[in-house]
Amino acid sequence: MPEAIDIKNPLELRNFKYISEELPICVAEVPVDASLIRVISSCFHDDFIWARILKGTIVIDIDGNQQLLQKNDFLFINSNHVYSISEVQEPGFIRVMFAKPSTLSNPLLDRKINRMISDVKFSSTIIHPINPLFYADMDAIYDLSRSRPQEFEFKILSHYVNQLRQIYRIYQHTNPEETVNHDANYDALREMMAFIGESYRNEINLDDIAAAGGVSRSKATRLFRSYIQKSPIQHLQEYRLERSVYFLTQTKLSISEIAQSCGFNQQSYFNRLFIRHFGMTPKQMRSDPKYSR
């Protein structure tokens, strides 16, 4: 379990505790308020860092470059880089994960990871997640590290591998030496997912999604299944369900209002999908203290 956090520097590694020596991963939620403006010392260590902005707006300085982070932004900081929080524009919470690069020891993975670490041009990346799957693995690690079910270590490592894989794919895409060939398919997928993120409240179908990416219906389906192992409509439904969780836990809207605002015309259909996806009704989630903030 993480130790108490020093609010004056919440992203400093000494304030956290790994799951174990054999599993050097730590995930914690950190409150962020205006006191961080007074932070002047920078942090430097060899861990990978992921940070998801749950609420609020901050400015973070990484190797002298300032980046604005807002709610739902997802940040990765590579090993061996200097960072500090220089401004808090809106108080809130951050979910942070530290992991040692040596968490996974395998000749193939070591070669890829060391290449990424040694690339000084790849200090960090900020993802404006149109897809909640970008942070789903970190959230799963957070829950598993607290509940600790039987053999939870295997599950945590599985999620961690997937999280690291996402970052490595981003690194390959942003590294000029690794991206000689432009991936038009990935660009089309990104446009379609952005369209879903912007239009999920409306009545949209497969034709609309495919048009956003400039591809046919069949190619849209192939791209989604190839990259995220879901159909476009499955992703649309899951995105709507994930957004409904925010409204359930952060607002006082009625469940019928939430269903409508998330693109579900019938509350009964919304309820069925919600139970299938989360294993509980919307009402049960709203009343569960662990989902409220």
Mean pLDDT per 10-residue segment, the chain (293 residues): 36 62 88 56 73 89 83 89 80 90 86 88 81 80 89 92 88 56 67 84 93 92 84 90 84 92 93 91 85 57
Q: What ranges do the domains of the chain cover?
A: 13-178, 184-291
- The tens digit of pLDDT for each residue in 41-100 reads 456 668 899 999 988 898 888 877 888 888 888 899 998 887 777 788 888 888 989 999
Give Cβ neighbours of residue 213 (< 8 Å, ≥ 6 apart): 188, 189, 191, 192, 195, 220, 223
Architecture of the domain delimited by 13-178: Sandwich (2.60)
DSSP string covering the chain, please? ------TTSTT-GGG---S-SSS-EEEEEEEE-GGGGG----EEES-EEEEEEEEEEEEEEETTEEEEE-TT-EEEE-SSEEEEEEEEEEEEEEEEEEE-GGGS--HHHHHHHHHHHH-TT-SEEEE--SSTHHHHHHHHHHHHHHH--TTHHHHHHHHHHHHHHHHHHHHHHH-GGG-SS--HHHHHHHHHHHHHHHHTTS---HHHHHHHHTS-HHHHHHHHHHHHSS-HHHHHHHHHHHHHHHHHHH----HHHHHHHTT-S-HHHHHHHHHHHHSS-HHHHHH-GGG--
Whether this model's pTM surpasses 0.85: no
HSE at residue 207, side-chain half, CA atoms within 13 A, is 1
Both structure tokens of 29: 């939620």
Q: For the segment 276-292, what is each residue's pLDDT rounded down to a tens digit?
A: 988 899 999 888 776 65
Q: What is the mean pLDDT of the chain?
A: 81
Do residues 17 and 4 touch, judged by C-beta distance below 8 A? no
CATH superfamily of the 184-291 domain: Homeodomain-like (1.10.10.60)
User: Within 13 Å, how many C-alpha atoms sit on residue 116's CB side?
Assistant: 27
